[in-house]
Structure 1
Amino acid sequence: MKRSGPLVTLLAGLLLGLFLLTLNSATGTKASSSARPVRESPTASVSPTPTKPAPSPTSAVVPDADYSGRTDDDSAAVAVTLRDGRAIAYVCDGRATESWLKGDVADDGTMRLTGKHGATLTGTLKEGKRIRGTVETDGGRHAFTADRTKKPSGLYRATATVREARIDGGWIVLEDGSQVGVLNRDGKPAPAPRIDPETGAVTVDGRELTARPVTP
């Protein structure tokens, strides 16, 4: 009986160890089966906010303005009116020679205006203050300078029918207040009567007309 004691104790220990081993194995299997893979939520892709392109700088600004002056040889007056990139010009000697011209103005201030009978005016607007160029008409080729002016200086025109005659007059009012103009009666040119630069009033053959500022 004394020898069987240790054997019983050893056997009991083996049984306890086997029981614990079986218990741990079952617990591990349960834990493994209950585990769930963690799915990472997909990261929402955020589209970058589109960047607005920077506005391109304006290459040049052509102002809406009036310019008047004379040819270098003082033989004629020149007036140019600019509006929205368009130009109209009038060249007049105050006696019988005149020409109306028109055309576009480039962003850099250059212009080439054309009129009847092959008349041309080429010029460049310099810093918005003056136009320097040349004009070619029946009277020849002349260099000119036209400075920026303020009302009442500028370019005026009046058209009407007076005593069954077609009247077409053009006037350039210069910065110093002097005027140069030609009045056509049925196509026959003559020096134009003076207008009131404040109102544009002018009397032609006993009838009062209104000369108005000219724009392209």
Structure 2
Amino acid sequence: MKRSGPLLTLLAGLLLALFMLSLNVTTGTRSTSAGNDSPAGAVPASPAPPGKATATPGKPSPSPSPSRSAVPDGDYAGRTDDDSSAVAVTLRDGGAVAYFCDGRDQESWLKGDVEDDGSMRLTNEQSQVLTGELAGKRIRGTVDMGRREYGFTADKAVKPSGLYRATAIVRGAEVDGGWILLPGGRQVGILKRDGRARPAPRIDPETGTVTVDGKQLTARPVTP
């Protein structure tokens, strides 16, 4: 009986060890299974491919704005058919300004638009009218001054020929001068001092300078 006691104790310890070993194995398996949420054999979903970028074409470059008129810019100067007066016309960007002058006491400033065919009708507040048409390098037309109508021909001018004007206050008086420089060096112009007209003094064709009542002014090319 004394010998069976130790054997029973050893057997009980061995059974306890086997039981604990079996419990550890079972627990470890369950823990491993619990750590994987995905079912067996499941294939991870591949990330969706990025959407194909659609190239947005850039805005086309704006085309150059068409000119207001097909008529080229230019300066024109000439005489009336009766050779009594001079006429100058300046064309810029589809607009026109003109000056009629007899060099003594009669003048007229007119302005307006030029049509694509070269025709023009220029007017002012005094109801005076210049009608003309550009053909090649020449403008042919008429100036209606109210009491009389003048036909004229103005050829394309080369600088310094063309239309000039100067305005200023000289010795307390308002001075306004207009000049037409014709080919060959001839000048026709009127200078108004407080509204009273007289023949204009000559201007320097290279610089546009002119002396009025002892003061030097500068006449500049006229544009619409």
Global fold match (TM > 0.5): yes
2:115 corresponds, among 94, 106, 114, to 106
Question: What amino acid sits opposite 1:93 in the alignment?
Answer: D
Shift of 1:115: 1.5
Question: What amino acid sits opposite 1:162 in the alignment?
Answer: V
Aligned residues: 157
Aligned to 1:207: 215
For residues 139 and 74 of structure 1, the distance between their equivalents in structure 2, rounded to whole angstroms, comes to 18
Aligned to 2:165: 157
* TM-score, normalised relative to structure 1: 0.71
1:88 aligns with 2:97: yes
For residues 120 and 91 of structure 2, the distance between their equivalents in structure 1, rounded to whole angstroms, comes to 10
For residues 77 and 219 of structure 2, the distance between their equivalents in structure 1, rounded to whole angstroms, comes to 17
1:126 aligns with 2:166: no
Q: Deviations over 1:56-87 (max 9, x none)?
A: xx9x8311100000000011100000000000
Contact 1:99 1:116 in 2 (8 A): no
Give 3-state SS (helix, strand or coil) of 1:117's partner.
coil
The structure number with the bigger radius of gyration is 2
Aligned to 1:36: none
Question: What amino acid sits opposite 2:83 in the alignment?
Answer: D
Contact 1:97 1:139 in 2 (8 A): no
1:69 corresponds, among 78, 84, 91, to 78
- Cα distance change on mapping 1:76 and 1:163 into 2, 3 Å: same
Question: What amino acid sits opposite 1:177 in the alignment?
Answer: G
Q: Percent identity?
A: 69
Runs of 5+ consecutive residues of structure 2 not aligned to the other structure: 1-66
1:141 corresponds, among 126, 131, 149, to 149
Shift of 1:111: 0.1
Shift of 1:137: 1.0
1:167 corresponds, among 159, 175, 191, to 175
Q: Which runs of 4+ in 1 moved over 2 A?
A: none
Give 3-state SS (helix, strand or coil) of 1:169's partner.
strand
Say what the alpha-carbon RMSD is for the aligned residues.
1.3
Contact 1:100 1:116 in 2 (8 A): no
Q: Deviations over 1:94-133 (max 9, x none)?
A: 0000000000000000000002321100000002x00000
Shift of 1:139: 5.3
* TM-score, normalised relative to structure 2: 0.68
Question: What amino acid sits opposite 1:84 in the alignment?
Answer: D
